């Protein structure tokens, strides 16, 4: 099946080549994207016996940071390399000064072989849902053990793999252990025919977000009487209703400041244009040196790696991506871990277990419509005692469900 897959990749590239060439001619950012992928690991020194960790985008890179810190704390002596798929994931990994960061090239031996030769990996660790056939098959041919940690499988993936289950079994053959974040995710893989002994439920590492202390030099300081609401990881279609709610709320709470952080930084200009239409006093984070003396109403976060620091200073938080099943929600545990009530949408298919637990704690408030955001925020902003109680409840839930980090570290060090 290896040969058939490679033929499919080559055929797809040939068919898409006119479009790719045209796009490269007109888009400098696309040329940069292709160049970054083609570069692969050539920017790194030659390594040996490397622990190679792969994380797709921003969320997985944040998890990788926790995992790497924990591994080093436990005495991991091998060199560690981190590959990312998206440019935003790469940018965050570089900003966080994670070790030996590079972009994963196209999933084809011609581009992957130089990476293997430079890293000489002793093990590959895949974070969450990143399964690349050629990457995995190369590991098999080179006798490199593979572990998937914090594994998740969406209903959409189940339907896709279910069309031809032998493909999944062929692709995942090199993976020695699937360390799944929940029983639901494990059951989905088992339904597709994976061997029971290869699938293990260890819990969600994201619940351990506060268990590893990492250096964070950014601490926003506000005026003493400021009331902060943070809207994190927002998606298209969300910022408009958020701004409408903010305008109404700021009439009732003059000290209220809305902080908006789009999920993808490339949307900042689009979101800024929308904010400007509401004729409010806004600013970009990158242009502000002193928030303590800033007199605006809306702050747009246009810098990577700053969102968690803003969650800490918030009275209430909202995490986007939950009003479109295509997005499936984003990480609601980050604000919960620092004791903040968190609002989110009804489509949390990528965070089913987390949403369930936070709902049960009463501090995770799931909205059926984004227009409900005004009424819920209005209530919470008027009741500081209730906010504090809900925040303590979600923080307690996050801590009670920790422990997956140590279990996965043990698995990585032993397998």
Is 212 a member of any domain?
no
pLDDT mean over 109-136: 95
Residue 214 has pLDDT above 50, yes or no: no
Q: Indicate whether 275 and 396 sit together in one domain.
A: yes
Q: Indicate whether 119 and 195 sit together in one domain.
A: yes
Pairing between β-strand 175-180 and β-strand 364-366 as defined by DSSP bridges: unpaired
pLDDT (tens digit, 9 = 90+) per residue, 198-207? 999 999 999 9
Question: Can you say whether the dihedral through the CA atoms of 362, 367, 370, 371 is positive or negative?
Answer: negative
pLDDT (tens digit, 9 = 90+) per residue, 327-386? 999 999 999 999 999 999 999 988 989 999 999 999 999 999 999 999 999 999 999 999
Query: How confident is the model at residue 32, as a pLDDT?
Result: 80
Is 406 a member of any domain?
no
| pTM confidence score | 0.84
Residue 405 has pLDDT above 70, yes or no: yes
What's 316's domain CATH number? Answer: 3.40.50.2000
Is 28 a member of any domain?
no
For residue 285, what are the domain limits?
A: 227-400
The percentage of residues in the chain with a pLDDT greater than 90, rounded to a whole number, is 77
In angstroms, the CA 201 to CA 213 distance is 25
In angstroms, the CA 64 to CA 177 distance is 18
Q: Indicate whether 231 and 197 sit together in one domain.
A: no
Q: Indicate whether 240 and 195 sit together in one domain.
A: no
pLDDT mean over 230-243: 97
Q: Indicate whether 197 and 232 sit together in one domain.
A: no
Q: Indicate whether 250 and 350 sit together in one domain.
A: yes
Is 10 a member of any domain?
no
Is 218 a member of any domain?
no
Q: Indicate whether 256 and 342 sit together in one domain.
A: yes
Residue 215 has pLDDT above 50, yes or no: no
Q: Indicate whether 191 and 291 sit together in one domain.
A: no
Give pairs for 375-383: CB < 8 Å, separation 24+. 376/343, 377/229, 377/245, 377/249, 377/316, 377/343, 378/249, 378/252, 380/315, 380/316, 380/341, 381/227, 381/229, 381/249, 381/253, 381/256, 381/315, 381/316
3-state secondary structure of 106: coil
pLDDT (tens digit, 9 = 90+) per residue, 318-336? 999 999 999 999 999 999 9
User: Is residue 298 within 8 Å of 280, Cβ to Cβ?
Assistant: yes
Instruction: Give the CA count within 13 Å in the CB-facing half-sphere of 243.
Output: 21
**Which H or E run contains 151?**
strand 146-151
pLDDT mean over 102-116: 95
Using the CB atoms, write b or e for 124-155: b if 16+ within 10 Å.
bbbbbbbbbbbbbbbbeeeebbbbbbbbbbbe
Q: Indicate whether 188 and 235 sit together in one domain.
A: no
pLDDT (tens digit, 9 = 90+) per residue, 145-181? 999 999 998 888 888 888 888 999 999 999 999 999 9
Confidence category of residue 210, pLDDT binned at 50, 70, 90: low
Structural domain count, the chain: 2
Residue 86 has pLDDT above 60, yes or no: yes
Query: How confident is the model at residue 373, as a pLDDT?
Result: 97
- 356 class by beta-carbon count within 10 Å (0-12 exposed, 13-18 middle, 19+ buried): middle
Confidence category of residue 216, pLDDT binned at 50, 70, 90: low
pLDDT (tens digit, 9 = 90+) per residue, 258-304? 999 999 999 999 999 999 999 999 999 999 988 988 999 999 999 98
Is 13 a member of any domain?
no
Confidence category of residue 415, pLDDT binned at 50, 70, 90: low
Residue 16 has pLDDT above 50, yes or no: yes
Question: Can you say whether the dihedral through the CA atoms of 290, 296, 298, 302 is positive or negative?
Answer: negative
Is 304 a member of any domain?
yes
What's 104's domain CATH number? Answer: 3.40.50.11720
Query: How confident is the model at residue 211, as a pLDDT?
Result: 56
Query: How confident is the model at residue 398, as a pLDDT?
Result: 95
- Residues forming beta bridges with residue 80, ordered by sequence position: 51
Q: Which of 201, 235, 258 is the last residue of a domain?
A: 201
């Amino acid at each position: 099946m290896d040969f058939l897959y490679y033929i499919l990749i080559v055929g797809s590239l040939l068919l898409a080549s006119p479009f790719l060439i045209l796009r490269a001619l007109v888009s400098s950012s696309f040329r940069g994207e292709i160049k970054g992928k083609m570069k692969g690991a050539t920017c790194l020194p030659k390594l040996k016996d490397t622990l190679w960790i792969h994380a797709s985008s921003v969320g997985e890179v944040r998890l990788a940071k926790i995992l790497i810190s924990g591994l080093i704390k436990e005495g991991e002596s091998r060199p560690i390399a981190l590959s990312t798929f998206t440019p935003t994931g790469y940018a965050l990994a570089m900003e966080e000064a994670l070790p030996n960061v590079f972009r994963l090239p196209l999933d084809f031996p011609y581009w992957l072989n130089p990476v293997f030769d430079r890293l000489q990996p002793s093990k590959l660790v895949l974070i969450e849902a990143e399964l690349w056939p050629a990457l995995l098959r190369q590991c098999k041919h080179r006798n490199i053990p593979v572990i998937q940690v914090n594994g998740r499988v969406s209903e959409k993936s189940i339907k896709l793999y279910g069309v031809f289950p032998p493909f999944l079994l062929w692709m995942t053959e090199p993976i020695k252990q699937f360390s799944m974040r929940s029983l639901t995710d494990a059951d989905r893989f088992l339904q597709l025919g994976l061997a029971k002994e290869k699938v293990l439920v260890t819990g969600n590492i994201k619940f351990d977000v506060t268990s590893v202390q990492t250096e964070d030099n950014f601490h926003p300081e506000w005026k003493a009487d400021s009331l902060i609401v943070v809207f994190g990881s927002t998606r298209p279609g969300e910022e408009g209703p958020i701004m409408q709610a903010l305008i109404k709320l700021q009439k009732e709470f003059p000290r209220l400041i809305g902080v908006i952080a789009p999920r993808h930084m490339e949307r900042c200009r689009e979101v800024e244009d929308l904010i400007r239409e509401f004729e409010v006093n806004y600013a970009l984070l990158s242009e502000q040196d002193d928030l303590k003396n800033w007199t605006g109403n809306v702050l747009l976060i246009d810098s990577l790696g700053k969102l968690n620091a803003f969650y800490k200073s918030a009275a209430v938080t909202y995490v986007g991506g939950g009003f479109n099943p295509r997005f499936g929600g984003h990480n609601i545990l980050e604000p919960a871990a620092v004791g903040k009530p968190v609002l989110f949408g009804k489509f949390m298919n990528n965070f089913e277990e987390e949403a369930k637990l936070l709902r049960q704690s009463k501090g995770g408030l799931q909205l059926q419509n984004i227009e409900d955001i005004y009424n819920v925020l209005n209530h919470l902003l008027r009741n500081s005692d209730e906010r504090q109680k809900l925040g303590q409840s979600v923080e307690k839930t996050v801590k009670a469900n920790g422990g997956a980090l140590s279990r996965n570290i043990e698995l990585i060090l032993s397998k």
